[in-house]
Structures are given as C-alpha cells and as structure tokens.
Amino acid sequence: MTKDNHLQSGTLAPAFKATDHTGAMVALDDFAGSKLIMYFYPKAFTPGCTAESCDFRDNHKALSAAGYQIVGISPDEPGRLAEFKTEHNLSFPLLSDEDHAIAKAYGAWGTKKNYGREYEGMIRSTFAIDEQGTIQRAWYNIRAKGHAARVTRELA
C-alpha cells in the first residue's frame, strides 16, 4: 500500500470473509484459480451505485468471456443487497461489508470531500485480481457511469 492506503499492482490481495446477499459466507479464497473483478460502491439503490452495478451487469458477459468473475461490495446489510440484486437483475454476488473492514483493507474506505465538508465513507473503487490472488489493476475515486465499460475495454 502507498501512504494513501491504495493497493498497487503486483501486491497480494487482502484476504477477506463476508456475508453475501443470501446470507452465505464468502471468502477471497473461494475465487482461487479464477480472475476476479471486485467493485466497492457506497449504497444500494442510489443513482450512481445503481448505474454502476447495472453497467457491470451489462458487461458481465464480456468480462466472463475473459475469465473474470464479478463481486460487488457495499456497507449494506445482506437483506438490502438481496433486494438490490433482484430488482436490478444483477448476475453476480453482492457482499456486505457493514463494518468497512474489507473496504479499509483495500483502501476503499477513507476521507471524502463533498461541498467542502470532509467525512469518512466508501471511496468508489474497483480491483482486478488474477488467479493467484494478486492485484492486477486498482482504480480509485472512479466515476460510476461508464467505469464498467472502461474496465471491460482494459481487461477483456
């Protein structure tokens, strides 16, 4: 990690365990041997997060063809994630990070600024992880709209 807690390409992805939208436990180790796209978003059902999640849904086929699985992570509780997944027909798992532990480990939780006010929150971020669990790419402070297409262009 750099001084701003951003993960760099070539570093080992931090291990994690989290509850998914069905209430099942999911760990990074569950994806061993597969490539993975993990995206962190602030809150289900908000306009930006909905757009980003639907964009990943719409790019899922191309990313899957390139060997990637997708996982979305937010501070929402599992029941809320289940509603979000169903309402928007999302084709990949959503993980709950209510205590922000995963986001902190990935440098996706920290100080944000909005209209001159500083506060702690989710920093919209995406990570491409290879089959060995190494960070291939890390994108921080991304814009929700169009980001999934960029990830797809760069990786698929």
**Where do we find the tokens 């180790």?**
29
Burial per residue of 129-156, b for 16 or more beta-carbon CB atoms within 10 angstroms, e otherwise: bbeebebbbbbbebebeebbeebbeebe
Catalytic residue among 18, 26, 49, 144: 49
**Cα–Cα distance between 77 and 98 in angstroms, integer?**
6
- Examine the residue annotation and report whether 54 is marked as an active-site residue of this protein: no
Q: Which residues are catalytic?
A: 49
